[in-house]
Amino acid sequence: MSVIRYWEESFGFTASRPAARPAAPDPEIERLTRERAAAEQAAIEAARAADAARAESARVAAEQEASRRAAAIAEAARLHSPDIVCFQEIHQRLPWSGLENQPKRLERLLELPFYFYPPVNFGLGKYGIGIATRWKPSAIHK
């Protein structure tokens, strides 16, 4: 009988035993774990790149659509030669309209002075209403 067992049986004393040493890590499991982590990271980066490409494609499409709409509006105005044209939902340097300055673009396309009132500000961009007219306003109130 060992001394430790004698003490345990005689006095109800449980000797503390040294903790078991952890098994040495398996190099194959560590390699597979590293490969899996690298594959997951590559998949995340590929998904981010695909999202960025889709966002850029949507931004370019929105810019092209906005440009076509502005050109169509200007063509219709030139065709009918109105004295005044009123606009709503005009964007000035907003991301969803390709950071375009629509008031300046419409003024150039219509060849009319354009008066823009932006009651809504989004950081550097603005959103509001506008009037293109052949007549000079007597007063502008904001």
- For the segment 100-125, the average pLDDT, to the nearest whole number, is 89
Task: Determine contact, residues 66/102, Cβ cutoff 8 Å.
Answer: yes
Q: Alpha helix (H) ranges present in 81-141? A: 102-110
| Nearest-5° Cα angle at 122, 121 to 128 | 45
Q: 72-86: per-residue pLDDT in tens?
A: 888 888 788 888 999
Mean pLDDT of 105-113: 89
Q: What is the predicted pLDDT for the residue at 131?
A: 93
Residue predicted with more confidence, 6 or 77: 77
More confident residue, 61 or 49: 49
Give residue 141's pLDDT: 78
**15 pLDDT higher than 60:** no
Burial 88-123 (b: 16+ CB within 10 A, else e): eebbbebeebbebbbbebbbebbebebbbebeeeee
> How much of the chain exceeds pLDDT 70, in percent?
87
